[in-house]
Structure 1
């Protein structure tokens, strides 16, 4: 018997014995059914069990796939389409995330070095923790085991010293 099977987006006709089809589909011919009606029922069952799910899954996966603006006909096979291109996303910083994080880390280290040169070690650590790391005065005071009032006064003195130092020099 000839059976139509869907492969990708087109039908292909294959020759299969009726006994094998009965085993595949788990159906058999009834006494009052003709041979042509039985073959139609087999094809209908194949459509339900094999052809539609494969096509639907393929269609679900491939329906939004298209050619990118950056592709030419020669590059279609070479270009990885699993990720969008830089001009296809709303925020292109995602493609430069490593570079941005690295530059932020270098800037942080540069500022810490300048603060340590301008202030003493304890004052520099306090200013770095409060200003750059975002701790509150109370949190920093609790971390070093001191009163927040004392830390607040030291912090204001360090800020005034920084104003004097950096008003004379620049980075």
Structure 2
């Protein structure tokens, strides 16, 4: 049996995007009973007579989907147009802050930067092959911004040795990158 479920994350600009889930055939009476008991417990005393047991699993999920959509709609319906426009000349006495209505995609940008960082690190590790300690050194010093002195203290190596290894790594990466471009 296939059922359609609506998750709050799948509501985009007021449009419902359902996720289809395949459930093996069987007796769903226990699930339907639990749903009925929960809705009955949540209902107001004067509305308890109107609560009915769902006959199918899809009917139960449709009820949940409409509840989820209505919750999303109630929260997002006024975000597009603030009632009082923001004024810079302080003529409006109202505390409306329009900045709350703009989308915050900072997490998406952070995630994208993290993926890019991981791709670059993976490319460096691939280019250096068996010299993973060199790759770690290059990533720590050149990409993460750790000082050569700090890295030398952590590794217990001399600064001069680290500097020479970095030059060799840069040369090797440059050759690897030029060969990949051809």
- The alignment's TM-score, normalised by the length of structure 1, stands at 0.47
The TM-score with structure 2 as length reference comes to 0.44
Which one has the largest radius of gyration? 1
Asked which structure has the greater RCO (Cα within 8 Å, sep 6+), the reply is: 2
